[in-house]
Amino acid sequence: MTSAMLVGHLRGMPAAMEDATAADLVSLRLDPAAGQMSLPLLTLDEAIFDSNAKAFFSFAASHGLCVFPHLKTSMAPSLARRLLSAGADGVTVADARQAAVLLSHGTTRVIVANQIGGRDAALRLATLLARYPEAELTVFVDSAEGLATLADSWRDRADLPRLGIAVEIGTGRGGVRSRQAAQALIEAVLDAETSGANGLYLEGVAAYEGAAALPGFDAPAVEASIAELLDRLADAAIHARDRTDPARSLMITAGGSAYFDLVVRHLAPLIADLSPARLILRSGALFFHDHGIYARAMASMTRRSPDGPSGSFRPALKLWAEVLSRPERGLAILAFGMRDAPVDQGPPVPLELYRDGRLLAAALAGCTIDRLNDQHAFMSLPPGAELAVGDIVSLGISHPCTCIDRWRLVWGVGPDGRICAVHPTCFG
C-alpha cells in the first residue's frame, strides 16, 4: 500500500505532514529514536519478521506440513502478502469480516477458524462470497444448528463458491466434546453434501490446542490435556477418512504459536496413513514473537522439544514513547498507556533509552513498567537512574495479538533503525 493516502493525525506521523503516502514516508528515512516522529508508535523489525517466517516455514517444510498463518494478529494485508510469498499456503482469520478484508486484497485460500453464528451471520457470509466466486473458504462447525444455517444459506445458490466444512473438536472453548458427537456431526456434514445443499462439503477436522492449556494447569497437566484433545482430533480424522472417497484430500488443522510442537508430535505420523491428507498449522503470533508470553512459551517449548525451531524466534515489535515527567525520585511517567499497549499477559518491558538520538547503554537496567492508565505509563526506576524529560524509551510488548489491534499503522524498520515500510492494519 504505497499509494494510498495516510492522514497526519495517525500515531507516528511526522508533525509537519498533514497527509502522505507510505512511499513518501519511507523516502524520509525517519528515525523513531531521534524524535522525528509523533510518539507513541509501534515498529516492526522487518529483518527479524522475515527471519521468524523463514525459521517456521523451514520447520513446516521439513515435516511436510502446510501453514495458514493466523492474520488476526496483525490484520495487515501487506504482511499477509509477505507471508504468502515466503511459503504460506493460505491464511487463517477469526471471523467473516476479517475474511472479507483478506479476500478484498486478493487472498483466495482462507480458513475461518471459528463458528459463523446463526442464520443472519450465514446469510452475510453467503452475500460476501457471492462477490468472490474464486474463493476457497473453510469454516469451523461444532453443532447441527450451525451446519443447518449454512446449508440453508447455500442451498440452490449456483452463484456461490463451494464452502469447506471443518468439524471442530474442542475443549475449554468451542468444539464438540466427545468422539460420538464428532462422528455424528461428520455424518451430518456428509448428509448435507447430498441433500440439496450441494455447495457444502466435508473438508476435514480442526482443533485449537491452546484452549486446552487451562489456567492453573502445570506443564504436565497442560500436555496431558492437549494430548487428550489431539487424540480425539485424530479419531475424528480417521472416521472422516473411513467415510469419504479415498481420493478426497482431507484437512487436519490445529497449531497455534505456543504448542505447535505437540501438534506435530501427535499428528504428523498420522498423515501418511490418511493420505491424501494435509496437516495445516495456523500459527500467527510467532512471526512477531515478543518479550513476554511468547518468550516464556518458546522457553517451555525448547525444554520439551529441544530439536525444534523455538530458539530461532526473536521479538520483532517495539513500542516507542517519550518521558513526560519525573515527578518524584524513582518514578518516570511515559507517554503511552492502555490505548497503546496490552497488559493482559504482562506489562511492556523497557529495553533502550535514547537522548538526542543517541543510545545510552544500560540506562534502563532495573527499570520496570508497574501500571498503565489510559495515556500514561508508570515506570519505576532504581537508585541512580538518570532519565530526563524528553528522553525516548523503546519497550518490548507481551502478546502481539492484543497489541497490534490498537494501531492503524505499524512502522517497519530496517537494519539502520530507520523507517523502511509502513503497514496499515484493518481491524475495523
Q: In the chain, which segments carry CATH 3.20.20.10?
A: 47-293
What Cα–Cα distance (Å) separates residue 403 from each residue in 7, 47, 78, 340? 21, 20, 18, 7
Please state, as a whole number, how many other Cβ atoms lie within 10 Å of the Cβ of residue 138. 23
**Residue 33: predicted pLDDT:** 97
Q: Tell me if 154 sits within 8 A of 199, measured CB to CB.
A: yes
Q: Which three cell numbers stand for residue 222?
A: 497442560
**What confidence tier does 29 reach under pLDDT thresholds 50, 70, 90?**
very high
Q: Using CA atoms, how far apart are residues 398 and 292, in angstroms rounded to an integer?
A: 4
Quick one: average pLDDT of 187-194? 94
pLDDT in tens, 124-139: 999 999 999 999 999 9
Res 4 pLDDT > 90: no
Q: Which CATH number fits domain 47-293: 2.30.30.60, 3.40.50.10190, 3.30.465.10, 3.20.20.10?
A: 3.20.20.10
Q: In the chain, which segments carry CATH 2.40.37.20?
A: 5-45+313-424
Q: Which CATH number fits domain 5-45+313-424: 2.40.37.20, 2.60.40.1840, 3.40.50.150, 3.40.80.10?
A: 2.40.37.20
pTM of the model: 0.96
pLDDT in tens, 34-72: 999 999 999 999 999 999 999 999 999 999 999 999 999
Q: Are strands 277-281 and 66-67 parallel, antiparallel or unpaired?
A: parallel
pLDDT in tens, 219-260: 999 999 999 999 999 999 999 999 999 999 999 999 999 999
Q: Using CA atoms, how far apart are residues 14 and 10, in angstroms rounded to an integer?
A: 9
